Copies of this chain bind each other. A is one copy, B any other.
Amino acid sequence: MKAEIIAIGTELITGQALDTNSAWLSQRLGEIGIPVGWHTTVADDLHDNIAAFRVAAERAAVVLATGGLGPTQDDLTREALARLAGVELVLHAESLAHIQEMFAQRNRPMPERNRVQALFPAGAEPIPNRCGTAPGIWLRVGSCHIAALPGVPSEMMVMFDEQIKPRLLQLGLAGGVRLQRKLNCFGSGESHIEEKLLDLTRRGHVPEVGITVSDATISLRIIAQAPSRAEALAQIEPVERTIRDRLGDLVFGVEDEDLHDVVVRLLREQGKTLATAESVTTGQVAERIGRVPGASECFLGGIVAYSNAAKQALLGVPAELLAAHGAVSGPVAEAMAVGCRARFGSDLAVSTTGIAGPGGATPTKPVGLVWVGLAWEGGVSSQSFSWTGTRGEIQNRTAKLALNRVRLHLLRPPGAAHAT
């Protein structure tokens, strides 16, 4: 028993607008235990609309469509559904009165074209729209329940929550609860992480465990489908514990929590302050920290030392060190961190230096080579990494590498743990 979501609109199929309705509806259906099997997008084209509804009505138990209910000539959902069901369009007096009233409230005459919005396939049930002029349509074709809603997200959302969801629950189509737990990891590759979890990520495992990667952040999704919330949680919790046991510190957060959120949380919990000294990331480490509300309590600021002159003048990196090792080196990363910590008087300072490309590579230092330094009271360390990818990817991933270095330091204070 799966649902299908159909998005109708030439602006969507040509790529001029992004369909956000289908993802939203999928989430809402998932929450009431109705899995979605297909998203389909078609243009404002009568033939394509009818064909899409026909395919959907055959394979899905529920079809939710958005778009094509406006008053203009390219709004064809009403007609497509009438043709699909093999019935005429008939006028619904109550809907017409509602539309006329919406115009009256704005002191405008109702354009004649809006009259079509009160037409419905014979036998269909009008779905009131209290936020706009386009009523929705609820009808059954064969064994499939079809709901057509406006494409305007704010109208569609209210109508789904108030009108469609109760109907789906009443039909008994909602089968239990679908819950998801997302664990975010950093510090290892996708394949290496999956190698530790092969028994969990295999097809057919209950609950399902999926892996996605975005700019070196690996996310694990544990998805449980069960008759009740308690039973879904009972599926998820032991699997989450197993994953955390196996991955340890690689797991840095849950759901939408990002590395900078964790760093700010740990700093605040421990009453510590941080400053940043950035070259290759040109301010991104600071910018990410600054996204977190309350960052001002623990983040003192940073220096973007892009030129060697700035590294010397503002961070006190010795000219000899730059000459001997080059700006992209462990000693310079460490000197940047130490100099930054002294200037800001912070507990910790983290630094980045590297080659983001496309230019700047040397025979011994390829594009993608980066160093991250960390200075704390009584110590300093550095580590290097070689990324592949675009300039932007190298910068994003290095900013995360630096934040992760701070996170690991805060989790395992030096002395208590191994280096790097």
Residues of A within 8 A of B (CB): 7, 9-20, 22-28, 30, 35-44, 46, 48, 52, 55, 70-74, 102, 105-108, 111, 113-114, 131-132, 152, 154, 180, 182, 189-192, 194-195, 198, 201-203, 208, 210-213, 221, 223, 276, 278, 281-287, 289-291, 293-296, 299-307, 309-310, 313-314, 343-345, 356-360, 366, 386-393, 395
Contacts and interface: CB of A to CB of B under 8 A. Distances in A.
B13 A37 contact: yes
B111 A388 contact: no
This chain: how many copies in the complex? Answer: 2
A23 B15 contact: yes
Nearest to A42: B38
Contacts of A303: 301-304, 314
24 contacts: A7-B39, A10-B223, A14-B30, A14-B180, A16-B182, A18-B23, A19-B19, A19-B39, A38-B52, A70-B213, A71-B191, A105-B366, A106-B386, A108-B189, A154-B393, A278-B286, A282-B287, A284-B287, A287-B287, A293-B358, A301-B304, A303-B304, A313-B344, A314-B344
Contacts of A10: 208, 210, 221, 223
Given A293-B357, A301-B306, A13 B42 contact: no
A290 B300 contact: no
Given A300-B306, A386-B105, A388-B106, A41 B38 contact: yes
A113 B191 contact: yes
Given A113-B195, A294-B359, A14 B26 contact: yes
